């Protein structure tokens, strides 16, 4: 069974600092997503990573994928308060043998708090 582990689960950082959230998964994946969730809200798609070595950047966030290590990272550069949220990685994988149906398996999420 596919397992997705994120660390850290809680991250408190100061504005202006850099940090990285890690996402490990247990089997090969087809796609890897990063989502942001604000309290009481739904999931906002940040990045989708499709292949080994993929790197995507949007503003202060950069995501990368190493399929050989089964590892994705979400790097935060010069954090600002507006980035405070919970961040999830999710692995999309065909889950029925011989089929073409995907499902997302999520990590537990990283609660990021950026302090002034």
Partner 1 sequence: DAGVTQSPTHLIKTRGQQVTLRCSPISGHKSVSWYQQVLGQGPQFIFQYYEKEERGRGNFPDRFSARQFPNYSSELNVNALLLGDSALYLCASSLSPTAGYTFGSGTRLTVV
Contact footprint for partner 1 (CB under 8 A)? 4, 31, 33, 35, 40-43, 45, 48, 88, 90, 95-96, 99-109
Q: Is 112 exposed, middle or buried (0-12, 13-18, 19+ CB in 10 A)?
A: buried
Q: At its nearest, how many Å lie between partner 1 and the CB of residue 106? A: 3
Q: At its nearest, how many Å lie between partner 1 and the CB of residue 42? A: 4
Q: At its nearest, how many Å lie between partner 1 and the CB of residue 78? A: 27
State how far the Cα of 83 lies from the Cα of 62, in Å rounded to an integer.
13
Token readout for 82 is: 């507006």
Contact 4, 24 (CB under 8 A): yes
Of the pair 99, 116, the CB lying nearest partner 1 is at 99
């Amino acid at each position: 069974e596919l397992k997705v582990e994120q660390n850290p689960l809680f991250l408190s950082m100061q504005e202006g600092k850099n940090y990285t959230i890690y996402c490990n998964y247990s089997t090969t994946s087809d796609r890897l997503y990063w989502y942001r969730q604000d309290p009481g809200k739904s999931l906002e798609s940040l990045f989708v990573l499709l292949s080994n070595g993929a790197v995507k950047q949007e503003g202060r966030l950069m995501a990368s994928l190493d399929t050989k290590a089964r590892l994705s990272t979400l790097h935060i550069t010069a954090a600002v308060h507006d980035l405070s949220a919970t961040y999830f990685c999710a692995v999309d994988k065909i889950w029925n043998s011989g089929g073409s149906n995907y499902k997302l398996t999520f990590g537990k999420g990283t609660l990021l708090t950026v302090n002034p």
